[in-house]
Structures are given as C-alpha cells and as structure tokens.
Amino acid sequence: MLTFVIVYYGVLIAASCAAAYFKQRQAFQLLFSLLLVSMVVGIVGGAAGLRFIAIAACLLAAAAGISYAFREFLVQIAKPSLARELRTAPLTAAFGMFIIFVYAVAAIFAPWIAPFGQAEVIDSAFAPADDKMLLGADQLGRDMFSRLIYAARNTVGLALSATILAFLMGAGAGLWAAVRGGWFDTAFGRVVDILMSIPSLIFALLILSIFGTNLTIIVVVVAIMYAPRVFRLTRAVAGNVVVMDYIEAARLRGEGDWFLIRREILPNTTAPLIAEFGLEFCFVFLLMAGLSFLGLGIQPPTADWGSMVRENATLISFGEITPLIPAAAIALLTVAVNFVVDWMLFRSSGLKER
C-alpha cells in the first residue's frame, strides 16, 4: 500500500513538472489540480481514496483516448467538408458519437451479440454472475446481459420512433404555419398552447390507462405530447427566415408554399432542428424509461431498461449493483446525446473557438 502511494504521487509530480517544462498549460493545470485533490483525498480517505481517484483518472484518460481515436477515424472516412467540421469537434462530442455508435451496434446486432434470448429462462432467480452469465440472472432466472443488449433495441428504438413522429408532426406544422401565417398560424399556436399546458407524465398515464399499453399507442401518445415543443421551436426559427428578402423574391417569382419550405426555409433551419431532435430524443427516451418503470411502457417479457430497474430493485437491499446497470445505460446515452447536441448548437450559433 505504501508503495502504491509513493508511486502515485511520484507519477503525478513528474507528469506535472514535465507539462510545465514543455509549456503545456492545460495539461499542467489538469495534472496539478489532480495532485492537489489527491493530497486532500489522501489525508481524509487514505490509500483507499487515492485508489478511487486513480481508477477514476484512468477511466477518464481511457475515455479521452477512445474519443480521440474515434474522432480521427471519422475524419479519415468522412468527406472533406465534413472532415473539417469533425476535426474541430471537442473530445466530449467525439465521446458522445462513440457511445451512440456503440448503442446503435448493440441495437442492430442484438440477436448476434446476446448469448441468450431476452425471455429465455436459463437459471434460478437472482443467480450470481459466472462464466455463462456476465451479469447474473434477474428475478425469473433470465440472463441480465442478454436482456440489457436487447433492451438497447427495444427502448432506444421505441424512443427514436416516437421522436421521429413528433418531429414530423411538429416541424411540418411549424414550417407550414410560418409560411401561411394569418389565422392558420394563430389557430395552430392556440392548439399548441393548450397541449403544452397539460403535464406530460400525467397526460401519458391517463391516456395509456384508458387505451392500454400497446406499442403503437405509446408511440402516438408520446409523439403528440412532444410535437408542440417541436412546433414552437420550428415556428420561431422559420419565422426569422420567412421575412428575408430571398423569400419575398421567391414569392414574387410565383413559387408555392411547398417550394419555399423545401428549397428556401428548411435548408436554413436544419442545424437548430437537428440539435432540437437530439434534445427531444433525450426527453422522449427518459419518459419512455419512466413509463416502463411504472409498468405502463414496454410490457414483459420484452426487455426494457426501465422495467429492468423495477424488476430487480430488490437486489439493492442486498448490496448488489445489478439494478443500477440499466439505469446507468439510460444515463450514459442521455449524456452522450447531450454532448453531441451541445457541439451542434455551438456550431449553429456561429461562435468560434479562440
């Protein structure tokens, strides 16, 4: 233990001095801050605290390395115009894109990645992890790892479908209202105000309690709940475009509304709409997981991260972290999408890094 402490502090001091000598200001600030924090943690928590700090630092370094490598990979395979944008992407955005890529692979190739079926009972209830089951068994003896992989397809796929439907309704109505204006715009705005005044979770619980928890009904209900948010943003962004001179010139040429939306307005509103799509996906994704946790989302035996947390919550009383794994999967994807959205919002805002 003493050897670990000596080596730990020695490495941090040497790395800090090297960063200062080579005038790497950001690296020096990071390393020296880590050294100061480690000194405080070492005094309070001893060697165990230092070990925790070391593991966390190694995980962050590994995440940074993977993010950098994935960004360089995307730069090499992308077109020149896109490669220039990706080269300036921060590591947080690259990390988010990598996590999204991993989730997409897990969702698409779930039947080949998962060793067992999502509803296949292979052992006793709450069986511990072994060489056959990486994460152990759930309350019915099903493989947790296999259900976790299949849930990536079910939970993310359902949330993505609802988000796409919400965007088709909300963005379409917002663009059309911005172009037409007048009573059409006013009528849509009042309907949206009414829908946005209803608490989303209560509305979802009420509708699903009446019409059941069919997957189609879930997607439609959630899409109707979040379409007004998309409408408000699209109407605001498109409203700034329709007053431009080139829109008036297109009207004078005799162009129709559909041409204005497709060729003039939509290309100039793509960036904020894509960023909003990512944010809406996060909201829909969390709502879907919450509904499943309450028993009104995806129904058993279909694997879903929200229901997996509820079904295995008993293990928390025994000090097991298994129920936290699907919760961590939800949180990780949400954070990853937000990293990418933040970068896209920064690009669309026109700000430049110094």
Q: How confident is the model at residue 349 (pLDDT cuts 50, 70, 90)?
A: low
Q: How confident is the model at residue 1 (pLDDT cuts 50, 70, 90)?
A: low
Average confidence score pLDDT of the chain: 83
pLDDT in tens, 18-66: 888 888 887 888 888 888 888 887 777 777 777 888 788 888 888 888 9
SS3 of the chain: the string is: CHHHHHHHHHHHHHHHHHHHHCCCHHHHHHHHHHHHHHHHHHHHHHHHHHHHHHHHHHHHHHHHHHHHHHHHHHHHHCCHHHHHHHHCCCHHHHHHHHHHHHHHHHHHCHHHHCCCCCCCECCCCCCCCCCCCCCCECCCCEEHHHHHHHHHHHHHHHHHHHHHHHHHHHHHHHHHHHHHCHHHHHHHHHHHHHHHCCCHHHHHHHHHHHHCCCHHHHHHHHHHHHHHHHHHHHHHHHHHHCCCHHHHHHHHCCCCHHHHHHHHHHHHCHHHHHHHHHHHHHHHHHHHHHHHHCCCCCCCCCCCHHHHHHHCHHHHHHCCCCCHHHHHHHHHHHHHHHHHHHHHHHHHCCCCCC
Residue 212 three-state SS: coil
pLDDT in tens, 301-335: 888 888 888 888 777 777 777 778 888 999 999 99
Predicted pLDDT of residue 354: 42
Task: Mention every residue, 6+ apart, whose C-beta is less than 8 A from residue 83.
Answer: 74, 75, 76
Predicted pLDDT of residue 164: 93
CA distance 22 to 214: 62
Mean pLDDT (whole number) for 213-220: 85
Predicted pLDDT of residue 103: 92
Q: Does domain 115-348 have CATH number 1.10.3720.10?
A: yes
pLDDT in tens, 59-85: 888 888 899 999 999 999 888 888 888
pLDDT in tens, 237-288: 888 887 777 777 877 777 777 878 877 788 888 878 888 888 889 888 988 8
pLDDT in tens, 134-185: 888 888 888 888 899 998 888 888 899 999 999 999 888 888 888 887 777 7
Predicted pLDDT of residue 288: 87
Predicted pLDDT of residue 86: 86
Burial of 349 (0-12, 13-18, 19+ CB in 10 A): exposed
pTM, two decimals, is 0.84
Predicted pLDDT of residue 333: 92
